[in-house]
Amino acid sequence: MDLIDLKTFIKIAETGSFSAAAEQLHVTQPAVSKRLANLEQTFATPLIERLPRNARLTEAGKLLKTRAEHIIREVENTQALIQNLHENVGGTLSIATSHHIGLHRLPEQIRRFVKDYPEVDFDLRFLASEDAEQAVLNGDVELALMTLPETQNPLMEYHTLWHDDLIFVASKEHPLSTLDTPELKDLTKYRAILPAANTITFQKISTIFQRHQLQLRPSIPTNYLETIKMMVSVGLGWSVLPESMLDSSLQLLKIGQPLRRELGVIHDTRRMLSRAANAFLKQLEH
């Protein structure tokens, strides 16, 4: 039984799709089918039911998925323990990062780290915070730098690194910019350019409006804050952005509703961190 076959089986189970599993594993779909066939031959039973629109676990597949996840964690933990016996810090460090952190917070951290640990290679993946957390849970990456959620997963360890103050903004030509003291109800008359509804940042913004029994008018959702800034600057709507992004292209709207999000790093407590991950985590916290 090959570890790669097990990882492929888990990816099929997670995505419910042979093509999606192949895309995420960076292999061909026939290679995914072959790996599954190897496992089904080993256990002499079907593990995945092939349906027209998706792939579904059989009862044997459900049993194997739970055991396979445990087996892979144990193997990876053992690999990390053996690697940690060596004094040097090397190997590949896999990190998921939100786009905003990856552009504005991470570059200096990586610059410092590669100077101290030149033998470490980075595997960087730019994902939405919610997807970055899932990537850690799936074992696809060791660490994720992201907006920290209000509700935390007990399997994860969360480290707050930065406090990100958020502000209401519009273009200088937007009607809201003519108001000396705009209120939340004024914002509801105009389109809002915000991240997708399932994001942590959107939920923080939405909560404020719900508290005042007001209805948002979200339009053109995107999770790229730099794109939101551009759309706001040309007058497509108002938004909420990190204070650090305020410049001459935007008008600050003094709403009087303090907003803050916590940015940080997370890892799975069930997995042993590599020396590289431990070293990077230590640097981030100091």
Categorize the per-residue pLDDT at 109 as very low, low, confident or very high, splitting at 50, 70 and 90: very high
> Domain ends where: 82, 99, 123?
82
Tens of pLDDT along 181-202?
999 999 999 999 999 999 999 9
Tokens of 229: 């800034």
Categorize the per-residue pLDDT at 125 as very low, low, confident or very high, splitting at 50, 70 and 90: very high
Please check whether residues 34 and 146 belong to one and the same domain: no
Please check whether residues 11 and 74 belong to one and the same domain: yes
Distance CA 66, CA 131 (A): 21
Please check whether residues 155 and 106 belong to one and the same domain: yes
Please report the pLDDT score of residue 2 as a whole number.
85
Strand partners, 169: 239, 252
- 84 pLDDT above the threshold of 80: no
Please report the pLDDT score of residue 221 as a whole number.
86
- For the chain, give the percent of residues with pLDDT over 90: 79
Please check whether residues 111 and 243 belong to one and the same domain: no
Distance CA 34, CA 152 (A): 38
Distance CA 236, CA 224 (A): 15
Q: Does the pTM of the predicted model rise above 0.75?
A: no
Helix 59-84 vs helix 3-15: crossing angle, to nearest 10: 130
Query: How does the average pLDDT of the chain come out, rounded?
Result: 92
Residues 193 and 219 sit within 8 Å (Cβ to Cβ): yes
CATH assignment at residue 49: 1.10.10.10
Tens of pLDDT along 23-79?
989 899 999 999 999 999 999 999 999 888 888 899 999 999 989 888 888 888 787
Please check whether residues 24 and 47 belong to one and the same domain: yes
Distance CA 139, CA 199 (A): 21
User: What residue numbers bound the domain in which 198 lies?
Assistant: 165-260
Average of per-residue pLDDT across 121-138: 94
Please check whether residues 275 and 241 belong to one and the same domain: no
233-244 in b/e burial notation, b at 16+ Cβ within 10 A? Answer: beebbbbbbbee
Please check whether residues 179 and 158 belong to one and the same domain: no
Please check whether residues 147 and 272 belong to one and the same domain: yes
Lowest-confidence range among 82-96, 150-164, 211-225? 82-96
Tens of pLDDT along 257-275?
889 999 999 999 998 899 9
- 95 pLDDT above the threshold of 90: yes
> Domain ends where: 82, 105, 131?
82
- For the chain, give the percent of residues with pLDDT over 70: 99
Please check whether residues 47 and 95 belong to one and the same domain: no
| Tally of domains in the chain | 3
What is the C-alpha radius of gyration for the chain, rounded to an integer number of angstroms? 23
Strand partners, 55: 50
Please check whether residues 121 and 183 belong to one and the same domain: no
Average of per-residue pLDDT across 228-233: 97
Distance CA 130, CA 103 (A): 18
Instruction: For residue 41, give Cα distances in angstroms to 3, 10, 65.
Output: 15, 16, 16
CATH assignment at residue 269: 3.40.190.10
Distance CA 216, CA 218 (A): 6
Please report the pLDDT score of residue 78 as a whole number.
85
Please check whether residues 179 and 244 belong to one and the same domain: yes
Please report the pLDDT score of residue 112 as a whole number.
96
H-state helical runs in 95-174:
99-104, 106-116, 129-137
Please report the pLDDT score of residue 259 as a whole number.
93
Tokens of 126: 């730019």
Please check whether residues 20 and 71 belong to one and the same domain: yes
